[in-house]
Every structure is written in structure tokens, then in C-alpha cells.
Structure 1
Amino acid sequence: MVQMGVHLSDVPTSLPPAEHFDAVRRMVEAAQEAGFTHIAIGQHFLYGELRWLQPVPLLARLAADVDPHVRLATNIMVAPLYHPVLLAEELATLDVVTEGRFTWGCGLGYRPEEFDHLDVPFKQRASRFDEILELLPRLWTEDEVTHHGRHWQLEGVRPHLRPVQDPHPPIWVGAQALPGVRRAARYADAYACSPEATVAEIAERHQVVMDGFAARGKAFTPQPVRRNGMVADTTEQARAEFARVAQGRYVAYAQTGFDAMDLGELERRFLDTVADHAVIGTPDEVVAQLTDLATRLPVDPIVWRPGWPSMSADEVCAAIRRLGRDVVPGVRELEARTTIEPSAFTTPTH
């Protein structure tokens, strides 16, 4: 069975934080009623006119609201901004509080200003990330840890806090570029694929992960993948609505250099530019596209972004309920595969 999750969005800072939290709780309630089994949230600091509620305390609170089968995930936390001991203990506590339902999705970070604000050298983020990925499993599983790294030194420390999950929470490493995919293959339990990746790009990345896991003697399992999209009564309505709510954020991401999509094309020909990855259409069309994705690639869960900063909480909840009614049941009927269909390397979904 292929599972589906929701990726919660950032919101404008014009919405008071208490109302933001209330909206998140409403969305989570709608998502679990709709049959989604993963709740994921990202992270940024000092994000200007938009706000993320910080994921560790938020997910700890949401653990009291969700059913036992629903997993809570960070997708992603900016790992290099943390000291590894602080991060290991925060996340172990979160795993305890969620009763072993936590997945740690982490990434490199791409906003230099966040690193500047927190006095962490932006150019060191890759080496810091690698060192964290080496050190955290040790802090979660070993009785005594000695570590002499480039950035951190630990001498005979005795961790006092272990996660509930054995040996530790699943680690998803997210990345846009192949060096980051190789990092996931080397250190992680899964590669969390970004929503802008095409089927051929996902296939290439999955092959890298598969090869890296084989070199580690680690079994390859279906991998999480994010998708952006829109469901409506007609294809034309879905296209128009997706352009209305999502084009501004795609343009903003391109302006920061977060993704390699062409800024001019996003502004001039948005729907044509995103057609190679966005899942847009009627319920039947969306189910068909996700079915094609899951029958070509080893994906599970599919994490869908139902909301954008331009949408109200009511609109997001309505989108979640529609997905639950019209899309989730069809996806759940699919069997997750563990190999890559050869045609995936060259054939788009639509």
C-alpha cells in the first residue's frame, strides 16, 4: 500500500501566531480524517513576511492530536545550524513524546542569511551536515561517545537520552543536487525527493541511493517523495487555481536560487514550466498521474502540499478533504515497488 502525507505550509506573518497554530491543528485533524498517514513540516528562521512554527515543539504538541498510526516528520530541518548534542537530545525527546512516531527529515539549507543570523559559516554547512549525520546515530545508540571532528569535539560523553525507536528515528535526507543525494545514500535511511524533480530525475537519484545502500549492506525500500498539485472539477479549473496559489512561491524560490527552474519562464509560462512535475487535474487525472509515478518508481509515502501562503485555512482544509475523498483511496490501492521501472529514466508522467 502506498501511503500519502501532507506537507504543511508557511503562512504570512499578518496571521497572528495563535491563529496560525489553530489553523495547523485544523489541517492536521482534516488530514487524518482524510486518510493521510504522515504530517510533515519544514523549517526556516527569520523568514521575513512568512512564518514557520518551529517543528520540534510543534510536532511535540501535535502528537497529542493525532491517531497512533499517523507519523510526524520534519521535512526538512536545517541540520547544520545546530550543535549535534543539542539536536540529538531535542530529537530523542521528540521521539519519546511522539511515542516512536517521529521521522527526522533534514537538509543542508540554502539561505545564507539564516546562517549569518545564527553565526554559522554558510560555506561550512556541508561538512557540518556530514559530521552531524555521523555523530547523531552514535549519540542515540552508544553508551559512551568520543568524537574528534572538524567542528566538534566530544571526549567520553555518556548520552543520557535515547529515542523510543530502535535503533533511532528514520533519517530522511532531502537534497536538490546529486552531491546531496549521495549524502543520503551514505548516511540516511531514505532520500526525501523534492517536489520539483521530474520522474527521470527521481529515477536517477533513486539509483544513486540504491547503489549507496548496497555498498553499505542496507536494504533499499520505497522512498518518500513530495508532490505539488491541484485537484478540481475540471482540468482548466485545476490549472487556473494552481497558478493562482503557487506561482508566486515558485518565483520566490527561483529568485533565491533554491531551485534551478528558469525565473523568466516561471513568470511567463508558469503552467507549461511546471508541467513536468506538478500533478494537476480532475480527480481521475490526478489519481492516474500518481498511479503512473508509483508504478514506475519505488515511492512511499507521497507527501502532498495542499496549501500555499496565499490560501486561507478554510481553503487548505477543503483541499485536504477533497484529496481524502477523491485521491487517497486510489493511491492506497497501489503496491509500493522496490525497484525502478527502466522507462522511468526517460519517460515523464504526463
Structure 2
Amino acid sequence: MELGVILGDVHTTLSPREHLDGLLRQVDAAQRNGVRYIVMGHHYLYGNLRWLQPIPTLARIAAELDPGVRIGTMVVQAPLFHPVALAEELATLDILTRGRLVVGVGAGYRREEFAAFGVDFDQRFAMMDEALQIVRLLWTRDEVTFHGRFWTLDDVRTHIRPWQQPHPPIWIGALRDSGVRRSARLGDAWPVTPETRTSDMKRMFDVYAAARRKHGRPPVPRHPLRREIVPGRTSEAAFDRFEAMARDRLLAYAQRELATRDARALREEFREVARREAIIGTPDECLSQLRDLAGMVPVDPVIVRAQWPDMSSDEVVAYLDDLGRDIVPGLNEIVSIDARASENRSQGPCPTPTGAV
């Protein structure tokens, strides 16, 4: 299994210079410690926290990439872009990375962002569906005509194609079964959220596989997983570390309209939430939990967050150094189950892919 890092937000009291310097220092430390994916989320109007926009930021980070390291959006809010702009900006980014881009896409969850853009929040899933259809067409055809509910294109000529052919891998985020089916129909993998319990994951992967079969699409061997990994000298020290790193930020997510976060539970039962949603303990305990997880669900890479708003750059680097020393070597020896093998055993031959989405 491989390790990835998701880049996040910082307090606006941090100067832009300090923000950029810290970001590049984190990228350097991540790669030095064996991280193979560097991804970034997407938000607007984030109040007292600064969230750099992912496409230009990842273009800057591309200049720092070591061989074999990939970058990606995880996830970009497709309904807040015109599909032509989204397709061309991401294709450009794929070229700038020499074909090392992964495109993570989601529908968004904050009404405030949609209101600012004048976009109907209640139509966001239908808009994402249509936008992805257009993006794929623009990435794979010389001329595109499309008449949809939200956008119309008549005989437009494309001029930017991605480096990767036919296009970069598309990861489509989802929190519920309906979204997992959409991810199976339109994407190439489902990035599992940190709040998704292992028991739900197993069922939702079955939903994903059934939707792939329905649409004549081949099985996906493994899916990226967002999961915090927090090692410590003792289990108690590891829990203390995670609480200091993440508690306030996770509580803020609950207060920013993220439906999967329960503010009361985070305030009153933080450690119980942490046990369900994170890999925490001594290095041996963390690796044991990861082996157990890899034996149950087809996940790879595991993507962690190294930097939380209240952490200094030194603390971020120290955390990544701990992962590189104590977790990455053992993680690289773990092989997650392959969804294709289990599906072939249970379902027989997969229908011939049609390529249609």
C-alpha cells in the first residue's frame, strides 16, 4: 500500500509568505518520507482560514515533484466551474505534470459557496453529472456537441488534451449509496471519506461493484482511502497527539455544514470518534490495524492529513518524519485485497465494457 498526503487550510493570520514556505516544506518532507500522492481540496470564502485554490497551487507543486509521485484534486467542486474551463484547466495541469495528475471531483456541501456563485445548491449533483460528461467529451474528441439541462455546446473544437490517454484517472467523491453509484458510472475510483466506517465500506463497495456491472464497466481493483494515521510512543500518547492536531478542526467541519460530522460527538466523545475513523496507536498497532483493513476492503493509497491549522511547520515535518520512519516501510509491505479477484470469484466474467458513461 502507498501513502498520500492531503494539503489543507491555515489560519489567515499566517502571512502568504509563511503559508507558501510551509506548504513547500511539507511537500519536501512528504516526498522525503515516501509519500506517493500529494492531493488538495477545494473551497471558496473560507472565513478566518485560508484555502489556496488547488489547480494553480498544484501547478506550482508540480515543479517540486520527485519521480513516481502523483498530484491530484481531492476533490474539486465541479458544479462551481463551467465544464469547458474545468476540462481545459485540468488538462493543462496534466500536461504540466507530464501525466501525473489524478482528478478528484465532488459536488460540494457548503451552501455559502454556491450562493456566492449564483449556483443552485439543490441542483449540484445533476450539474456534476452533466459537467463530467462534458469534460470527458472535451478530453477525448476533436469536436463536441452537447445539449444538456445546464450547458450547451455546438460543434466546439477542442485544443487541449490531457497528457494521459484517454484522460487522467477520475476519482468521484460520495457519502451515500446514490453517490457511490454515480462514482461507479462516471469515474474510475471512489475516494472513501474518513467518516465511512469499515462495515459500511464493505457494503458500499458491493454497491459500487454492482453499478459497474450494470453499466458494463470493468471492476476497479482498489480505491483511495482518506484515513488519519497517528503513531505515538504509546497508545495514549498517540490519542493525545491526534486530539491536539485535529479536534478543533473536525469540530469546525461539523459547524460548516458537513453532514457527516456530529458536533456533539466530537465535543463529548472525541476518542470514540477517533477510534472509528483513524488509525491510532503505537507504530506496531497502527500497522496491525492497516493490515486488518487491507484484508477486508480494497483500498490503496491511504491519504492522511499532515498539517492542521494549529500546527507549526516544525510539527508538520516531525509528523511526516515519524510516518516515514515508523509507518511507510511497513505500509509498503501490505497488499490490499483486489476487488477484481473477489468479484470474479463471486460474479463470474464481467460484461464487456461498452465505454459509455
TM-score, normalization by structure 2: 0.92
* 2:340 paired with 1:337: no
Q: How does 1:204-223 map to 2 (within 5 A)?
A: 204-215=203-214, 216-223=216-223
Contact 1:213-1:219 within 8 A present in 2 as well: yes
One-letter amino acid of the structure 1 residue matched with residue 260 of structure 2: A
One-letter amino acid of the structure 2 residue matched with residue 288 of structure 1: S
Q: Secondary structure at the match of 1:65?
A: coil
CA distance in 2: counterparts of 1:229 and 1:267, whole angstroms: 21
**Cα deviation, residue 274, structure 1:** 2.7
Give the total of aligned pairs.
341
Q: Secondary structure at the match of 2:84?
A: helix
Which contiguous aligned blocks of 4+ residues in structure 1 show a shift greater than 4 angstroms? Answer: none
**Cα deviation, residue 293, structure 1:** 1.0
CA distance in 2: counterparts of 1:209 and 1:68, whole angstroms: 32
Q: Secondary structure at the match of 2:173?
A: strand
Could you report, residue by residue, the CA deviation over 1:298-328 in whole angstroms, capped at 9, with x for unpaired residues? 1111111122111111111110111011001
One-letter amino acid of the structure 2 residue matched with residue 222 of structure 1: R
**Cα deviation, residue 219, structure 1:** 2.9
Contact 2:195-2:260 within 8 A present in 1 as well: no
Q: Secondary structure at the match of 2:99?
A: coil
**Cα deviation, residue 110, structure 1:** 0.4
* 2:100 paired with 1:101: yes
Could you report, residue by residue, the CA deviation over 1:162-211 in whole angstroms, capped at 9, with x for unpaired residues? 00001001000112222211110110000011011111111122112212
Contact 1:253-1:259 within 8 A present in 2 as well: no
**After the TM superposition, which of the residue ranges 98-107 and 243-252 deviates more from structure 2?**
243-252
CA distance in 2: counterparts of 1:210 and 1:19, whole angstroms: 45
**Cα deviation, residue 261, structure 1:** 3.8
Could you report, residue by residue, the CA deviation over 1:111-167 in whole angstroms, capped at 9, with x for unpaired residues? 000011112111121111000111111100011110000000000111011000010
What is the CA RMSD across the aligned residues, in angstroms?
1.5
Q: Secondary structure at the match of 1:43?
A: coil
Alignment match, 1:155: 154
Q: How does 1:125-136 map to 2 (within 5 A)?
A: 125-136=124-135
Contact 2:234-2:281 within 8 A present in 1 as well: yes
Alignment match, 2:351: none
**After the TM superposition, which of the residue ranges 86-95 and 210-219 deviates more from structure 2?**
210-219
One-letter amino acid of the structure 2 residue matched with residue 235 of structure 1: S
Alignment match, 1:30: 29
Alignment match, 1:264: 264
CA distance in 2: counterparts of 1:237 and 1:92, whole angstroms: 44
**Cα deviation, residue 341, structure 1:** 7.9
**Cα deviation, residue 288, structure 1:** 1.0
* 2:263 paired with 1:275: no
Q: How does 1:1-350 map to 2 (within 5 A)?
A: 2-215=1-214, 216-339=216-339
Could you report, residue by residue, the CA deviation over 1:213-261 in whole angstroms, capped at 9, with x for unpaired residues? 2222323221111102421111111111211221112212222331334
CA distance in 1: counterparts of 2:11 and 2:224, whole angstroms: 28
CA distance in 1: counterparts of 2:259 and 2:325, whole angstroms: 32
CA distance in 1: counterparts of 2:159 and 2:301, whole angstroms: 32
**After the TM superposition, which of the residue ranges 308-317 and 143-152 deviates more from structure 2?**
308-317
CA distance in 2: counterparts of 1:32 and 1:307, whole angstroms: 15
TM-score, normalization by structure 1: 0.94
One-letter amino acid of the structure 1 residue matched with residue 118 of structure 2: D
CA distance in 2: counterparts of 1:259 and 1:7, whole angstroms: 20
Unaligned segments of structure 2, at least 5 residues: 344-357
Identity %: 47
Q: Secondary structure at the match of 1:325?
A: helix
One-letter amino acid of the structure 1 residue matched with residue 231 of structure 2: V
CA distance in 2: counterparts of 1:326 and 1:259, whole angstroms: 34
